[in-house]
């Protein structure tokens, strides 16, 4: 609970920038063309094409944007089985290059052993400095080698327009696959992707906007669809939750415009409510100037980001006063 001045208090409390300007709108989605259901051969060809663009992206020192875009479009077009096949390939074929790691470790141990001498001899200080430089170079090489090959691909995809949203979809697909086959190589991919997404979707990267009745219908539809705590019954109920004595705030990421990753509903009350029914009942709201407390009564996230948003959001945000 908190006192009045709700927008400013929420921004401080939830560690996000409060933006008074309008919420960015997403680009218009292309209308899907009607096409017949693909057969097995078409699915195999589609998965093969996606695998080709995956390899082209990872093999390049700097993944070409065109290859990333082709992978993104192809992956979205795959069915559940095709996506799982691509994820297995990503986790297995582009894992940590362990042969290179072993070679570097042998070199590192060899240089470390020669650097451990007894008494200092003339010129030993210069030799010790050279050995230390070699050790630092090898340690840097080891750190690079211990990164999985897919690391650069995931980071480049995050920088691609629409890439962060695709990575959230990939994480959701990966969690579904882990529910079927809990392989260590898949867990390693999930752990790496989770670590990156928690950073990319941290509260510091999100913008806090107030959602109002005047916002685009596409945004309000998402609020109705994703309200998971107290379902919105109809348009009248929605308008009441966005009207006098009520507030709705959404967290938005600049890479995913027009879609709240998480949203919070607040009721401005004169006294502390004794039950949620007092908040949800269709009673006339009090004048906002008489409000003495703000009740956070609902927190929901969009389905595609549900798991990773909670992991990122609640790892660094406290809703206590």
Identify the architecture of domain 6-16+206-316 in CATH: 3-Layer(aba) Sandwich (3.40)
Q: What is the pLDDT of residue 13?
A: 46
What mean pLDDT comes out for the span 170-195? Answer: 94
Q: What is the pLDDT of residue 129?
A: 65
Q: Which of 62-66, 101-105, 143-147, 275-279 has the lowest mean pLDDT?
A: 275-279
pLDDT, tens digit, 9 for 90 and up, residues 280-311: 876 777 888 888 999 889 988 875 555 555 55
pTM for this structure?
A: 0.72
Q: What is the mean pLDDT of the chain?
A: 82
Residue 6, pLDDT > 50, answer: no
What mean pLDDT comes out for the span 246-262? Answer: 89
Q: Which of 27-41, 91-105, 183-197, 225-239 has the lowest mean pLDDT?
A: 27-41
CATH match of 40-96+148-202 with 3.30.1950.10 = no
Confidence of residue 12 (pLDDT cuts 50, 70, 90): very low
Q: What is the pLDDT of residue 276?
A: 86
What mean pLDDT comes out for the span 247-254? Answer: 92
pLDDT, tens digit, 9 for 90 and up, residues 13-25: 455 566 666 676 6
First to last CA, the chain: 6
Residue 118, pLDDT > 50, answer: no
pLDDT, tens digit, 9 for 90 and up, residues 160-181: 999 998 998 999 999 999 999 9
């Amino acid at each position: 609970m908190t006192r009045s001045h709700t927008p400013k208090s929420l921004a401080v409390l939830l560690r996000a920038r409060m933006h008074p300007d309008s919420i960015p709108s997403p680009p218009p989605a292309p209308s899907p063309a009607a096409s017949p259901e693909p057969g097995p051969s078409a699915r195999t060809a589609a998965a093969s094409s996606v695998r080709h663009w995956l390899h082209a992206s990872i093999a390049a020192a700097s993944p070409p944007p065109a290859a990333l875009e082709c992978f993104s479009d192809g992956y979205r077009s795959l069915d559940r089985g095709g996506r799982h096949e691509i994820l297995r390939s990503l986790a297995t074929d582009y894992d940590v290059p362990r042969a290179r790691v072993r070679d570097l470790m042998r070199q590192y141990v060899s240089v470390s052993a020669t650097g451990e001498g007894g008494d200092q001899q003339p010129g030993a200080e210069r030799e010790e400095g050279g050995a230390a430089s070699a050790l630092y170079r090898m340690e840097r090489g080891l750190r690079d080698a211990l990164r999985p090959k897919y690391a650069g691909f995931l980071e480049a995809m995050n920088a691609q327009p629409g890439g962060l949203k695709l990575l959230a979809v990939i994480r959701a697909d990966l969690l579904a696959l882990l529910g079927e086959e809990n392989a260590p190589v898949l867990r390693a991919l999930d752990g790496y992707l989770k670590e990156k997404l928690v950073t990319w979707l941290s509260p510091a990267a999100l913008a806090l906007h107030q959602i109002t009745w005047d916002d685009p219908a596409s945004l309000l539809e998402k609020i109705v669809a994703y309200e998971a705590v107290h379902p919105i019954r109809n348009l009248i109920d929605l308008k009441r939750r966005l009207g006098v004595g009520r507030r709705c705030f959404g967290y938005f990421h600049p890479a995913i415009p027009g879609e709240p990753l998480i949203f919070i509903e607040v009721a401005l009350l004169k006294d502390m409510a004794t039950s949620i029914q007092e908040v949800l009942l269709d009673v006339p709201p009090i004048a906002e100037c008489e409000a003495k407390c703000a009740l956070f009564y609902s927190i929901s996230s969009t389905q595609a980001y549900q798991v990773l948003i909670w992991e990122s959001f609640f790892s660094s945000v406290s809703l206590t006063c």
